[in-house]
């Protein structure tokens, strides 16, 4: 695994030891960024279920200002820290060990707005539409934000949901990538806990 393009192009990234983490292949990562970018002019990215941090690091390399990495597994967090450092991006990264729902609540309290969100959970999790609803409800997304959901090819997410329209859906073997665009509605107030 490596950084494919941008300021950290060619830097090697470590994998998480064991079989519990399924890193996004370079081929799929290249395809994702050709669909959503390929380059960015600033903004904030959120890499939930970060694993190795490869997607968030690629976004930083391609011009995103800052990225927040979240994973529940301690081994993944250690690898994300090492990979962010190897890519020379420690000063532009925040890394948290917690579950996705708790992270969303904490980030909402900070009133952050993300332009780009990566949702690449373990394939057994098939509720990213619920998490996307939570991100919208809590006001965590810029208008026009792009959300990338990587999932089992056998599972289909809806083409449209409140605030979201699907802009791309494609398969790579047993992996599917579904990309959504977020559209804020006028007068919507984010909720707080």
pLDDT at 149: 96
| Residues 185, 188: Cα–Cα separation, whole Å | 6
pLDDT in tens, 125-134: 999 999 999 9
Collapse the DSSP code of 184 into the 3-class scheme (helix H, G, I; strand E, B; otherwise coil) and give the result.
Answer: coil
Of the pLDDT bands very low, low, confident and very high (cuts 50, 70, 90), residue 1 is: confident
Phi/psi for 78 (5° steps) reads: -60, -40
To the nearest whole percent, how much of the chain has pLDDT over 90?
A: 83
**67-76 confidence digits (pLDDT tens):** 999 999 999 9
Find the helix or strand (DSSP H, E) in which 95 lies.
Answer: strand 93-97
3-state SS, one letter per residue, for 109-136: HCCCCEEEEEECCCCCCCCHHHHHHHHH
CA distance 82 to 14: 8
Tens of pLDDT along 77-133? 999 999 999 999 999 999 999 999 999 999 999 999 999 999 999 888 999 999 999
- In CATH, the number for domain 26-149+171-182 is 3.40.50.150
Write out the two tokens for 167: 């802009």
> What residue ranges do the domains of the chain occupy?
26-149+171-182
Residues 14-45 have pLDDT tens digits of: 998 887 677 788 889 999 999 999 999 999 99
Cβ(169)–Cβ(180) under 8 Å?
A: no
Contact between 150 and 120 under an 8 Å Cβ cutoff? The reply is yes
- The confidence score (pLDDT) of residue 186 equals 44
pLDDT band (50, 70, 90) for residue 191: very low
Is there a cis peptide before residue 38, judged by omega within 30 degrees of 0?
yes
pLDDT at position 185 = 75
DSSP H or E segment with residue 78: helix 74-86
Please write the tens of the pLDDT for every residue from 45-65. Answer: 999 999 999 999 999 999 999
């Amino acid at each position: 695994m490596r950084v494919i393009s941008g300021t950290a192009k060619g830097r090697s990234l470590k994998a998480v030891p064991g079989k519990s983490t399924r890193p996004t292949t370079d081929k799929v990562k290249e395809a994702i960024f050709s669909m959503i970018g390929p380059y960015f002019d600033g903004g904030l990215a959120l890499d939930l279920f970060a694993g190795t941090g490869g997607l968030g690091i690629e976004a930083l390399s391609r011009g995103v200002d800052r990225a927040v990495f979240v994973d529940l597994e301690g081994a993944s967090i250690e690898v994300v820290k090492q990979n962010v450092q190897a890519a020379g991006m420690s000063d532009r990264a925040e890394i948290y060990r917690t579950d996705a729902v708790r992270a969303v609540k904490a980030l909402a309290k900070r009133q952050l707005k993300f332009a780009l969100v990566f949702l690449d959970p373990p394939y057994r999790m098939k509720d990213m539409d619920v998490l996307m609803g939570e991100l919208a409800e809590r006001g965590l997304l810029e208008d026009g934000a792009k959300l990338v959901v990587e999932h089992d090819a056998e599972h289909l997410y809806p083409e449209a949901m409140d605030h979201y329209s699907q802009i791309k859906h494609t398969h790579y073997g047993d992996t599917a990538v579904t990309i959504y665009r977020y559209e804020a509605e006028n007068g919507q107030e984010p909720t707080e806990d």
